[in-house]
Each structure stands twice: as structure tokens, then as C-alpha cells.
Chain A
Amino acid sequence: MNATALIAEDEPLLAAALQAELARAWPGLRVLATAGDGDTALSQALALQPDLLFLDIRMPGLSGLEVAEELADAWPSGQPLPVLVFATAYDQYAVKAFEAQALDYLLKPVQAERLAVTVQRAQAALARRRQGLDDPTLQRLRALLAAAPEPAPAHERLRVIQASVGQTLRLVPVDEVLVLQAADKYVRVLTAQDELLVRTPLKELLARLDPEAFWPIHRGTVLRATAIERVERTEAGRLVARLRQRPEPWPVSRLHEARFRAM
């Protein structure tokens, strides 16, 4: 059976060019679809389940990395993730991270010789899979997303979170915050009794918080470690965290499961 691929690239000419180059480098590969934005890429990847997924980093909607994270979470358990190949014109930081985790990436404009190397690697990975060998993609992705930018030194850490509510500025000590959750253009800040919305992106907030005190458990969800009471496994096999002072369940994504292990 021929291998299948999905291309996620927002610039139509580049998507067509990659498809044409792939046809030359790997005639047996069947490109199932091309997606022009992150959200479409995610839903198509879940629906079509390709062997190989080309992900542009900068796309409208979800970014390439966000698609990978959501995909890892929503992917049916027991099935290997698609082989991931990221594409970027110039994300130096991302490129370093991919190299560190041995994840493949292409620099745009894509050159035939470089693409041939990618094709070889992907074919080798698929062959390993067919022999039932362990698939390292999930571990590598986990390591990639865990390699967050340097946390702020202790003296630059945030002590108080400020949020404007109408004409008032509300101040919440970071020590009282239990949950930070990215929601559309805002970040929800939850304490035991209260909820506030702040505009600072979650990434910026996280960089100024103590990484030992706040644990990411899902894309866009961060819990105060000491506020977690227990973690349960649901019937579907997913982990859910419960807090002492709040009733809501907090799903843990597959990428962050490794955080919760009995001592």
C-alpha cells in the first residue's frame, strides 16, 4: 500500500510546489489533501489519518506547533502519530528546537536534495513502524514542547496579576492563582472563588512565573501544582486533574501525561 501525506501550508504556490517536488522525490507517495490554515490541517489530519504530515510553522489559525500538539492529544491511542515534517522560512528558535529533538524540518525555499533526505528519513520511519518497532515521534514532540524558553530569573517574576474590569483595575496575588487558561484573545485567571480575564498572552505570563509552581497540563492550561488534589484516568483512557478548591475537571493532554507518575 502506498504511503499517504497531508500538506499544511497557507501560501498556495508553496503548497503546490512542495507537492510537485514530492511527486518527483517520492513517486509512490499519495498526497491526500493540502490545508491552508491550522484548523483545517488539524481536522483533515484527524479525518484522513495520513502517514506523513508536512506542517508550516506560521499559518493562520493554529500554528504548525499547535496543530502537532492538538493532534498528539486527539490521535486515537494505539495508533502511531503521522511522521511530522515542519516547514519554515526563518524561525531560528524553532529550527534549533527541531534539531535538538531530532524532528525533521524543511527550510523554505525547499530544495530537491534536502527534500530527498527528508523522504529517506520518512521512509525509514514508516518501515520501522511496519516492523512494529517503537515510534519515537510522540516522545520527541513532548520533549520539543517541554523545551520552553528560559524561565525568568526569580527577581523578574510576577507577584501580582492585574486585570481591568470595566473602569476598575483588579489585582490578584500570584500566590492565590490556581489556574491560567488561554481562551481566544484572553487568559482566564482562576482563584478559589474568582475569575478574571487578562489580555497578556499565556506564553508571556508563563515566562514570568515559577515553572516549579505552575505546571502546563494541556495546550493553553496551566495549574498550580500544589492545588492539584488528584489525577484520575477516565474510561476513555485520558487523564483528568482535580483541584482541591475548584470543582471543574482539567483534562491532561497526552503530551503532558509524563508529568504525573506515582513516586
Chain B
Amino acid sequence: MTHNPSPWWLRWLPADSRASVQRRALVVWGVAAVIALVQHGLKPAEHELLPSFVYSYAISTSIWFLSDPMRIVLRRWLQVQAPYYWRFSPATMAYLVLAILLGYALGTAVGDAYTARSTWALLMLSPERFWGFLVWSLAVSGAFLFYFYHREKAHALEQLATETRLKLLESQLEPHMLFNTLANLRALIATDPPRAIDMLDRLNAYLRATLAASRADAQAHTLAREFERLDDYLALMAVRMGPRLRYRLNLPPELAAHPLPPLLLQPLVENAIRHGLEPAVAGGEIEVEAAQEGGALRLTVRDSGVGHDGPPQAGFGLTQVRERLQTAYGNAAQLDWRSAAGHGSQATLTLPLQTPATPRP
């Protein structure tokens, strides 16, 4: 998350909206100056410089104020939420049309007060010019709202993707795991070089997979590759934990080519180690299994560790897995986590089956 310093004049808005509201205000004010200058430049006689500026700023500021910060103030009523405070609903659309009209009227009144003229009188004198003016203002406002909406949405999505990648990288390159693994490797180099080489190869594959998965253009990934990476990780952990860790990976060959977001299961296996087996004095067993059930793919990570009563604690990484499921499958995927103190934990992922599985011979 980037933390922009909060603009003081927007302190009355929710903290997560201030930076973007300020950004939009600055764009609106910049464009207001351009509009005033263009008007003046095209017809200097009709639009004197200073009044043009006053009208342009009063109208654009009013419309901006009503349609942007006030939309956020009315977020409950409009049922809009962070981070965009935006939603294509009849209520939002009606509110925005109203905001533009009201903002236009308000800004015009301010301009009229300054110039001591009446734009409304123009309606009588030259209705064409009046309507032209109004339609033009509305079109500019509408275009702005549309542009801002798309820009903010793209911006937020990009930020979310970056955060997800960063979180993945952070959890995979956990310093405890890395330094303890290196310490074991150092010990093996002196005592058992062939095993040290095997461990180094696995660490190599693990790091490569982690970096690849954290890149924006992650390659196509399959269950077979996912299980290979889990095998690398668990083999590294088995060197560290010795007889305290036993594990089994069970992938039926017909599911080997099934696609999967890279390292989706990794945080679940890490949970099983960190919160299940590591605190258990006697250690235990981890079992990872893929199975086809009807039209669904079921992935299970089971451990016989210490378990945990009640809801999962923060730091179990389940939120992160759920976010990734949501991005990849929408509502078609589920994560179920159950655990009981003294009886281990089980995480079950249910995903839509994506390739027609080849029938067994």
C-alpha cells in the first residue's frame, strides 16, 4: 500500500479516499483553467478573461464537489464502498445527474453574482446559446466522471495485483525459513555433500518457482508442477525437521495436466508446517491430495499437528488464498478450513474441473 500524505483540506473524508479525491480535484481545476482560456481565446469579446475564469472554476468546482467528495459522504445511502466508492446503480446514476445539474446551477449563480449578469436571462434572449452552454458543460462533466471511474478502477486493480504478488513473495521468502535452510545446508556440506547438493537443487527450484509466480506474467502452471514444488518445499523442511516431518503427496496421473494458479497450495502446506507440526514436540504427518469429484477438483492439505480450536487466526494466509481464488475463479471456487486442538487441521479447496479428465484405462 502506498501511503500518500493526507491532504489537510480533505480530512473530513475517509482516509482511503483522500488521495484520489485530491488527485481528481487537481485535474478538474487544471482543465477548468484550460476551458476558460479556450473560451476567451476563441471569442475574446463575448468571454472576458476574468469572468471566464470565475464561471469555469465555480461551475467545475461545484460539479466536482457534489459528484466526488459528496458521493463519498453519501456512501451509505448510495451503497458505494471503498476503494472506488462507485457502483453502476440507478441511485448512483440519478445522484450524479442531479449533482451535475445542481453543480451547474450553483456555479452559474456564483459566476452571475460576480459579473452581476444573469445567465438565466440568456435563456430568454438566446435560448440556443444557453442550451449549447449547458449541454457542453454536462458533456464535459460526464466525460470526466467516465474517465475518472475507469482510471481509478484500473489503478485499484493494478494495486491489488501488485499487493498480492508482494504478499506471495514475502511469505515465500520468509527469512526464518531461508536462514534455517541455509544453516542446514552449511551443516550438510561438511557432513554429507551428496545430500547437500540435493538440498541445494531443491532450494534452487523453490526459489525459481517463487520468483516466477510473483511475476505479473506468470507462466501456465499445472497440478503436476505444483506438486513438484510442494515436494521441493517439503523435502527442504524434512531435512530441517528430521524424523518430526513425514509427508505424502498424492496426485492421480489423469489430473497431472490440470491447470492451477502457481503456488496456490503452497501457503496451505506452509500453514500445516508452521501452525501444525512445528509446535508439536513429536511432529507429525502432512498429506496433500488431488481428487476429481463429479465436476469438481478437490485439493486437500491435511496435517496431524497440534490443531487449533475456533476460527483461523490472522497470519494463517487463508485470506490470501481466498483472494487468489476469487481472482482466478470468481465464486466458483471454495476454501474450507477445519481444525481442532489435538486433532490437526484440514484445508480443502474445491475448484471447477477445467480439462476433461481422460478416462481410466
Binds B, one of A8-16, A67-75, A115-123, A227-235: A8-16
Min CB–CB distance A170 → chain B (angstroms): 16
Task: Answer whether residue B176 sits at the interface, using C-beta atoms and an 8 A cutoff.
Answer: yes
B285: interface (CB < 8 Å): no
Number of A positions contacting B (CB below 8 A): 23
Partner of A185, one of B191, B239, B278, B341: B341
Q: Is A89 a contact partner of B281 (Cβ separation < 8 A)?
A: no
Find A108's partner among B183, B241, B280 (CB 8 Å cutoff): B183
Do A89 and B184 touch (CB < 8 A)? no
Q: Is the CB of B278 within 8 A of A13?
A: no
Do the beta carbons of A11 and B190 come within 8 Å of each other? no
- What's the minimum C-beta distance from A73 to chain B, rounded to whole angstroms? 21
Q: How many residues of B contact A (CB 8 A)?
A: 27
Selected A-B contacts with CB under 8 Å, 11 pairs: A11-B183, A13-B184, A13-B239, A16-B187, A17-B191, A58-B176, A60-B244, A60-B283, A89-B175, A89-B179, A108-B179
Binding site for B on A (CB under 8 A): 10-14, 16-17, 20, 36-37, 39-40, 58, 60-61, 89-90, 107-110, 185, 199
A91, chain B: closest CB distance, angstroms: 8
User: For residue A12, which residues in chain B have a CB less than 8 angstroms away from its CB?
Assistant: 242
B residues with CB within 8 A of A: 175-176, 178-180, 182-188, 190-191, 239-242, 244, 278-281, 283, 309-310, 341
With A60-B281, A89-B176, A90-B175 already in contact, the answer to whether A110 and B183 are too (CB < 8 A) is: yes
The CA-CA distance from A108 to B278 in the complex, in Å, is 18
Complex CA–CA separation, A74 to B179 (angstroms): 33
The interface residues of chain B, by DSSP majority, are classed as helix
Query: Which single residue of chain A is at the shortest CB-CB distance from B192?
Result: A13
**B185 and chain A: residue at smallest CB distance:** A109
* A17, B176: Cβ atoms closer than 8 Å: no
Tell me if B188 and A13 are in contact (CB < 8 A).
Answer: yes
Residues of A within 8 A of B341 (CB): 185
Kindly report which residue of chain B lies nearest to residue A57, judged by CB atoms.
Answer: B176
* Residues in chain A near residue B191, CB distance under 8 A: 13, 16-17, 20
- Set of chain A residues within 8 Å of B241, measured between Cβ atoms: 10-11
B281 near A109 with CB under 8 A, answer no
- Asked if A199 and B187 sit within 8 Å, CB to CB, the answer is no
In the complex the two chains form, is B176's CB within 8 Å of A185's CB?
no
Are A14 and B175 in touch, CB under 8 angstroms? no
Specify which of B185, B190, B310 is in contact with A20 (CB 8 Å cutoff): B190
Contact at A89–B187, with CB atoms within 8 Å? no
Cα–Cα, bound, A10→B180 (Å): 11
Known: A16-B187, A185-B309, A199-B310. A11 touches B281 (CB 8 A): no
Partner of B309, one of A40, A60, A90, A199: A199
Which one of B186, B239, B242, B279 lies within 8 Å of A109 (CB-CB)?
B186
* Closest CB pairs A-B (n = 7): A17-B187, A109-B183, A89-B179, A90-B175, A108-B183, A12-B242, A109-B186
Collect the chain B residues with CB atoms within 8 Å of residue A90's CB: 175-176, 178-179
In the assembled complex, the Cα of A90 lies from the Cα of B180 at a distance in Å of 9
A108 surroundings in chain B (CB, below 8 A): 179-180, 183
The answer on a CB contact under 8 Å between B240 and A13 is yes
- The answer to whether B240 and A109 have CB atoms under 8 Å apart is no
Chain A residues near B242 (CB-CB < 8 A): 11-13
CB distance from A107 to the nearest CB of B (A): 8
Nearest residue (CB) in B for A62 is B281
Given the complex of chains A and B, what is the CA–CA distance between A79 and B184 in angstroms?
36
Knowing A12-B242, A37-B281, A61-B281 touch, does A17 contact B179 (C-beta < 8 A)?
no
With A14-B180, A17-B183, A109-B187 known, 15 other A-B pairs at CB within 8 A are: A11-B242, A13-B184, A13-B191, A14-B183, A17-B186, A37-B281, A60-B281, A61-B281, A89-B178, A89-B179, A90-B175, A90-B179, A109-B185, A109-B186, A199-B310
Cα of A110 to Cα of B186 in the assembled complex, Å: 9
Which residues does chain B contribute within 8 Å of A185, judged by CB atoms? 309, 341
Contacting residues, chain B, for A109 (C-beta < 8 A): 179, 182-183, 185-187
Which A residues touch B240, using CB under 8 A? 11, 13-14
Chain A residues positioned under 8 Å from B179 (CB to CB): 89-90, 107-109
CA–CA, A154 to B248, complex, Å? 50
Roughly how many angstroms separate A156 CA and B202 CA in the complex, as a whole number? 46
Chain A residues within an 8 Å CB radius of B182 = 109
B281–A39 contact, CB under 8 A? yes
Kindly provide the distance from the CB of B233 to the nearest chain A CB, expressed in whole angstroms.
Answer: 16
- Inter-chain CA distance A12–B179, complex, in Å, is 15
What's the minimum C-beta distance from A59 to chain B, rounded to whole angstroms? 9
Check A60 against B278 for contact (C-beta < 8 Å): yes
Residues of B within 8 Å of A14, CB to CB, are: 180, 183-184, 187, 240
Contacting residues, chain B, for A20 (C-beta < 8 A)? 190-191
A17 to B309 CA separation, bound complex (whole angstroms): 37
Q: How far is the CA of A119 from the CA of B280 in the complex (A)?
A: 32
B342 CB to nearest chain A CB (Å): 10
Determine the chain B residues whose CB is within 8 A of the CB of A37 once the complex forms: 281
What residues of A have a CB within 8 angstroms of the CB of B180 in the complex? 11, 14, 89, 108
- Distance between A64 CB and nearest chain B CB, rounded to angstroms: 14
Q: How many Å from the CB of A49 to the closest CB on chain B?
A: 23
